[in-house]
Structures are given as C-alpha cells and as structure tokens.
Amino acid sequence: MGKLLLVALILFAGAAALARPWIGIVSYYLLSTLGPQYIWWWVFEGLRVSLIVALSTLFGISLSAMRHNYDFNFLLNKQNFWLGFLWFCILVSYIFGPYVASFSSSGLNPSQLFSLTNTIFLFYFCAALEMNEVRKLRYLVIVFAVSTIYLIYWANAQYFSGNWSQFNMGRLMGPRSIHGGTIYNDENAFAMLFVTGLPFIYYLGFASKNWFVRLGLWAIIPLGWHAVFLTGSRGGLVGLIVVMGSVIMTSKRRMLMIPLLLMFVFFYQWQSGDIMDDRSQMIAGYEGDKSAEDRLNAWAGGFKMLEAHPITGVGLGSFITALPLYHESRPMVAHNTFVQFAAESGAGAGLAYLMSIWIFFRHYKKIKDWCLAFPDEKEMHQIDMYNHASATSFVGLFVCSMFLSLNVYEVFFLLILFNNALYQICLRKEMEAA
C-alpha cells in the first residue's frame, strides 16, 4: 500500500514539475533535507524517485525557458557569478588536481564527490531561475520547516524509545537505510539540520496570528535543542548559541527573548547528558583536547597545500590523502569549510566561497532596509520574515563551518537561494516603483 501511494505521488510530482517546475524544485529539496528515502527505505527501495523528479524538473525548466517565462536577473547576478566560479574551480581541481585518485578514505571517492557536487550546483542554479516569487518561496519554507520538525520528532523518538542501535558511542546518528545510505553521514551534519531549521520554526510561529499554532511551533524548539544534545555535536551547540544570540540581537522585543535564553540554560543543564556535557567543556579549552589539536594541524596542512598548489589545489576529495604529506598529522578532513575548499580546489575556490558569504550578508542588509521602507505592503512582511529566518540560520551555519567541513552541505545552498530570490524580488519591486 505504501509503495503504491509513493508511486502515485511520484507520478503526480513528475507531471506537475513539467508544467510548474517549482514543484519539482520543492520536491528535490524535500528529498535532500528530510531524506524520506532513508527513513522509510523499504517503501522507496527499487524506485528511482530522485532521478524521476530531477529529470521532470529539468525538462520543465527547459520548456519554460523556451517560452521566455523567466527573469534571468535571478540567475545572472554577482552572487551566482561567484558560485559559478566556485564550481569552475572545483571542476579544474577534479581534472588537474595532483592527488585526485579513484579512492578516498573520506567515504566518497573524488568521482562520487564530483557527481554529488554537480547535482547540488545544477539544482541550485535551476532553483535560482525558477524560485522568483514569494508564493513559491513560501512552499520551500514550509518544506524546510516540516523536514526539521519531523526529524526533531524522529531524533527524540530514538531516545525515548531506547533505540540505542541508532547511537554511535552515545551520539545519535542520522536516519540511514539498511544498506547504510544516508544524507547525514555524521552526527555534526545531522546537528546542523536542527541548528539551521529552528530559526524558520521560530519565525513561522512569530508570524502566526493563531496563538495555538504559535505556541505549538515554539513548543517544538526545546525538543530541537534536545535533538542537538543527542548528537553530541559541539559545533551544533555553538550553532544553537549563535542562532539564539542572532535572534535576540535582531528582535524588536529583546526583553521578551530573555526567558528563551534562560529556558535554554535550564534545558541544557537538565537534558544535555554526559556526552554533550563532557564535549562542551572542551569548547573553551584547548589543553587536553586532542580534537582541537588535530583541527589546528589540519588547518596548517591545508594552508601548506594551498601554498604548494594555489591554482588547482590538491584535488577534489583529496584533502585526506594529501594531509600526511604536508603536515605531521593523521588523515582527516580540514574541519573548516574555507580551508577545505581552498586546499582542495585552489585560492579561487576559497575566494569564491568567502565572496558568496559576504554578498549574502550585504543582501540581507539591503532587503531589511527595503522592508523598513515599505512597512504597509503585505508581501513585504513575508519577505522580512524569510529574510530574518534565512539570515539567522546562515549565521549559525557560517560559524559552525569554521570548525566543520560542510562543502557539500545542501542547506548552505538552500539558504543562499532564499537570499538571492528575496533580493531580486525586492530589486524588481524597486525598479517597478521607479
């Protein structure tokens, strides 16, 4: 019965994506954030859901482009130029990188990593072209919030049901199929989903006029904190603190945020557990933390790689292979997204990554100013909410990226998609009003 229902949904989504490609984009990001194919793997087994959705969406976008239905300013702009340049640097590093091999101890070999990277970039650029209205973004916001809410439920269910097989040395792993497939391949990546999704839940609650809906959404937030605690991710803990700090700093009613902060402190003391408590004590102290020492060694090795190969880097997916040759260290990833990009794909990739971040925050400020200039326009209230939610989420992700390698983390591109679309929508409004 479940497989029949899924087949019907796939056929509907595929047909809808041909006529309205934004439905295919939303479906793609549902698969890449929630990962239902790994939660209910027995239903999805034998079905190429992602492939069907992808092909239908790409074909639908091609038809729409031939009908001249697009405003290409959403695609051809500075933000997307730097992301396109980042992809080009990755391509060069994959072809000419001196350490690219058919095998990598990182879990994905360079060929698999290149294929995944191409998919992420391709769908981002397709989405940048297609997601050109606030009503389309609304569905994408709902999908991201619902994905976060369900995975919060899933994470807490593993704990309260005593499913300890889902824990690795006391740390909760993300959902995975019986064959080991998963989109959250480690606990830190899983924690980042909650860190980046919680701001959307908070702002959706804040925007709701129904008090029951508002309180219901806000009641999920402490469970989201608990989900991060279960992962034992120090980066996730830092991300939560940064996100809450950002919410407080951007709130018009900062005094009302104090109870939220006090609740977090209380909840942490009550529910963090021994694993998170022990690991969090290492955040402030370098001495005795072998993990911190390893990170510093990896960063030092990464900069040596960049110095030796400034154009191509050592090659896509080859940081682990090359690290012992450039620094006395055990094989490991960079644990820093900028260092990972720059060391593997050259100085151009590092610059493109930093420019994408800089443009994001510049766009955020401009969108905020536009919303203040048109306070009575109904659509601007939605734009303002999505702008604050995506920016708050992005701040948490950016800070965590200083300690984690999140180079193929889909949420990074999803947040830039929100930012790019909102900026271009506001810019279009300004030009129409002139």
Among the residues of 312-377, which ranges form H helices? Answer: 319-326, 337-345, 347-373
Cα angle value 350/351/352 (rounded, 5°): 90
- DSSP label of 107: S
Amino acid at residue number 388: H
Q: What residues does 171 pair with on adjacent strands?
A: 168
What pLDDT does 8 receive? 80
Tokens standing for 40?
Answer: 């209910």
Q: What share of the chain is helix, strand, coil (3-state, %, to 5)?
A: 75, 0, 25
CA distance 382 to 139: 12
Per residue in 380-407, pLDDT tens? 889 999 999 999 999 999 999 998 999 9
Contact 331, 323 (CB under 8 A): yes
Cα angle value 258/360/59 (rounded, 5°): 120
What pLDDT does 282 receive? 47
Nearest to 16 by CA among 3, 31, 28, 5: 28
3-state secondary structure 69-82: CCCHHHCCCHHHHH
CA distance 191 to 177: 19
| CB neighbours of residue 249 within 10 Å | 11
What pLDDT does 23 receive? 92
From residue 107, give the alpha-carbon distance in Å to each of 110, 148, 150, 193, 277: 10, 25, 27, 20, 29
DSSP 178-238: TT---S--SHHHHHHHHHHHHHHHHHHHHH-S-HHHHHHHHHHHHHHHHHHHHHT-HHHHH
Q: Helix or strand or coil: residue 373? A: helix
DSSP 133-165: SHHHHHHHHHHHHHHHHHHHHHHHHHHHTT-GG
CA 166, 182, 93, 363 torsion-angle sign: negative
What pLDDT does 245 receive? 82
- DSSP label of 125: H
CA distance 103 to 111: 9
Helix (H) or strand (E) run with residue 382 in it: helix 378-401
CA distance 428 to 432: 6
What pLDDT does 98 receive? 92
Q: Helix or strand or coil: residue 172? A: strand
CA distance 372 to 393: 21
Tokens standing for 316?
Answer: 């896509």
3 CB-contact burial (10 Å; exposed 0-12 / middle 13-18 / buried 19+): middle
The number of CA neighbours under 13 Å toward the Cβ of 72 is: 7
Furthest CA-CA distance within the chain = 63
Write 6-10 long-range contacts (CB < 8 A, 24+). 6/43, 6/44, 6/47, 6/49, 7/47, 10/47, 10/49, 10/52, 10/53
In which residue ranges of the chain is pLDDT below 70?
1-2, 102-107, 252-291, 434
Nearest to 225 by CA among 187, 258, 267: 267
Tokens standing for 412?
Answer: 């990074």
